[in-house]
Amino acid sequence: MRKWWSMLPEYAKPIILGSAITIAVGVLAWFVAKGVPAMIQWIYGNVLMRLGKAKRLISAEGSKETGTFATYVSTDDLIKRSGVWAWLARRAMRWETKKKMGFA
């Protein structure tokens, strides 16, 4: 079984190598085209979920202290409370805005 490559005729080896490389490049291209954007969207979704939880927590804490429900929470407070990197949170919020506008 291990010696199958040496038993192949010489004219068949470049054909087999070429098709194997073509398949590998095709799989890599598919992953870059489909898999990476989907993974980024999944990460952005998780970040937005954490930002939403942080906003609800800040609003609930404000309603306990003052008796009124806070409608506006600053972006910096959200990012600090959520524990997400600032650049990632801003990218996720930008992506969400583009998605709502129909560009993403």
Radius of gyration of the chain (CA): 25
Quote the CA–CA distance of 18 and 47 in Å, as a whole number. Answer: 42
Query: Under a CB-based contact definition with an 8 Å cutoff, are residues 91 and 44 in contact?
Result: yes
> What pTM value is reported for the model?
0.69
In the predicted structure, residue 103 carries a pLDDT above the cut 90: no
The predicted structure's pLDDT at residue 42: 95
Quote the CA–CA distance of 41 and 55 in Å, as a whole number. Answer: 21
Tens-place pLDDT, residues 50-88:
999 999 888 888 777 776 666 788 889 889 999 999 999
Determine the distance from the C-alpha atom of residue 79 to the mean position of all C-alpha atoms in its chain, rounded to a whole number: 18
